[in-house]
């Protein structure tokens, strides 16, 4: 079945979305020197490659109407007059559409990340960054492949790319400055994705999405570290004008990303009034918490790379996330990697227990057969 048949809103998949890109393709002839920390990250990127076919247990069944096992309180209209009057069937359908919308934006964002990583390979001046970005391009392809499979096989529903996400991707790719794919994708889009993935990973009660989110986050932690390291070095030498331009971009992008998680397009697909439902989003306790947590990775990175002028600080104060600038980024990233490794150990242990149980049951069955034969003789 073509993905075109699964879109909630008609999408002509035969047409591509073409974003004109400017800037130079840069070659570098120095093959020996490189930053040790970045080359170490590149080696880790090579060592940690994985295949969704074998690492993820796709045999796990998923209820498309309860794919994440989340409480009803996560819906922005929970407890409102609209929620009280809709049927249980509509609530179930809303759960399916909401999950499909979220994971569809993850999917489209991963394709955007793949293209941005390829753009970094092309435009960044130093070879060590080109090396790492090449491994990231493969990572992002794997992530897009994984989210597409989950949507197609488990939910059977896909949403088009959100307007705010497409706008940010377009602004990131159109810019001719070599550092903008880093700032737009590695810091802002990836940082937001890490926080969103992490929230869902920690609250989902379903094993398949927990696996998907955990393994993707293990990669994304490296990607954000890459952008942080590269930009921290590069931004030391910015002029005041150059720094102001990048801080302006950060502020605009953060407001854009905060507003993109409203999910307004979902309500109409389950027979609800989009404007009425959207009016409840800002007052939803869960949405307030979710929006706040979305910036747990972005704010400390922006501060760390040196884009911490008055305009940025005012914007973060307005969003209520300024204090996140003091978060321990290294601890957060290590936690993401450790959880994925622990999940692998748990799966291996469970498989070993299953193997031993099967072995014992086989031994008992063989013994019973032998005893039957002996009694017959």
In this structure, are residues 161 and 105 in contact, taking their beta carbons and an 8 Å threshold?
yes
> What per-residue confidence (pLDDT) applies to 375?
65
Report the C-alpha dihedral over residues 43, 332, 336, 349, rounded to 10 degrees. 110
* Alpha-carbon span 71 to 203, nearest angstrom: 9
Q: 325, 300 in Cβ contact below 8 A?
A: yes
- Spatial neighbors of 256 by CB under 8 A, at least 6 apart, are 164, 167, 168
Residue 352 confidence (pLDDT): 86
In angstroms, the Cα distances linking 165 to 113, 160, 161, 308 are 12, 11, 7, 24
- Taking the C-alpha atoms of residue 57 and residue 297, their distance in angstroms, rounded to an integer, is 29
- Residue 320: phi, psi to the nearest 5? 80, 25
Beta bridge partners of residue 7, listed in sequence order: 158
Q: How many CB atoms lie within 10 A of CB 54?
A: 8
Q: Say how far apart CA 265 and CA 288 lie, in whole Å.
A: 19
Residue with tokens 């991707």: 169
Instruction: Tell me how far apart the alpha carbons of residues 236 and 238 are, in angstroms, rounded to a whole number.
Output: 6
What pLDDT does residue 175 have?
Answer: 87
pLDDT confidence of residue 374: 65
pLDDT value of position 376? 65
CA dihedral 46, 48, 53, 55 (to 10 degrees): 160
pLDDT score for 377: 62
- Are 334 and 324 within 8 A, CB to CB? no
Q: Decide if 259 contacts 170 (C-beta within 8 A).
A: no
Q: What is the pLDDT, as a whole number, of residue 100?
A: 96
Residues of the chain with pLDDT under 50: none
Q: How far apart are CA 213 and CA 225, in angstroms?
A: 18
Contacts of 313 (CB under 8 A, 6+ apart): 322
DSSP codes of every residue in 227-276: HHHHHHHHGGG--HHHHHHHHHHHHHHHHHHHHGGG-HHHHGGGT--HHH
pLDDT of 149 reads 98
């Amino acid at each position: 079945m073509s993905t075109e048949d699964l879109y909630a809103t008609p999408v002509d998949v035969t047409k591509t979305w073409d974003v004109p890109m400017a800037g130079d393709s840069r070659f570098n002839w120095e093959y020996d020197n490189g930053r040790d920390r970045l080359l170490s990250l590149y080696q880790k990127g090579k060592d940690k490659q994985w295949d969704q076919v074998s690492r993820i247990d796709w045999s796990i069944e998923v209820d498309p109407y309860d794919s994440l096992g989340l409480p009803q309180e996560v819906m922005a209209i929970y407890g409102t007059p609209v929620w009280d009057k809709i049927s249980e069937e509509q609530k179930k359908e809303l759960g399916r559409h909401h999950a499909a919308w979220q994971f569809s934006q993850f999917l489209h964002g991963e394709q955007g990340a793949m293209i941005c990583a390829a753009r970094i390979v092309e435009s960044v001046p130093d070879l060590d960054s080109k090396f790492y970005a090449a491994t990231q391009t493969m990572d992002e392809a794997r992530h897009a492949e994984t989210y597409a499979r989950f949507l197609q096989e488990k939910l059977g529903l896909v949403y088009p790319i959100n307007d705010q996400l497409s706008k940010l991707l377009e602004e990131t790719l159109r810019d001719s400055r070599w550092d903008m794919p880093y700032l737009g994708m590695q810091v802002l889009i990836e940082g937001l994705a890490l926080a969103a993935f992490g929230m869902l990973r920690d609250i989902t009660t379903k094993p398949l999405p927990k696996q998907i989110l955990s393994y993707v986050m293990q990669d994304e932690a490296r990607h954000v570290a890459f952008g942080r390291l590269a930009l921290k070095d590069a931004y030391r030498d910015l002029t005041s004008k150059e720094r102001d331009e990048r801080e302006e971009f950060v502020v605009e992008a953060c407001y854009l990303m905060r507003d993109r998680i409203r999910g307004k397009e979902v309500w109409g697909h389950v027979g609800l009034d989009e404007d009425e439902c959207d009016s409840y989003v800002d007052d939803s306790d869960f949405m307030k918490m979710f929006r706040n947590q979305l910036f747990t990775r972005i704010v400390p990175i922006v501060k760390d790379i040196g884009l911490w002028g008055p305009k940025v600080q005012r914007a973060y104060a307005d969003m209520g996330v300024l204090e996140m600038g003091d978060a321990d980024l290294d601890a957060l990233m290590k936690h993401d990697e450790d959880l994925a490794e622990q999940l692998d150990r748990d799966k291996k242990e469970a498989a070993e227990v299953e193997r031993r149980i099967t072995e014992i049951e086989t031994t008992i069955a063989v013994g019973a057969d032998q005893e039957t034969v002996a009694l017959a003789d």
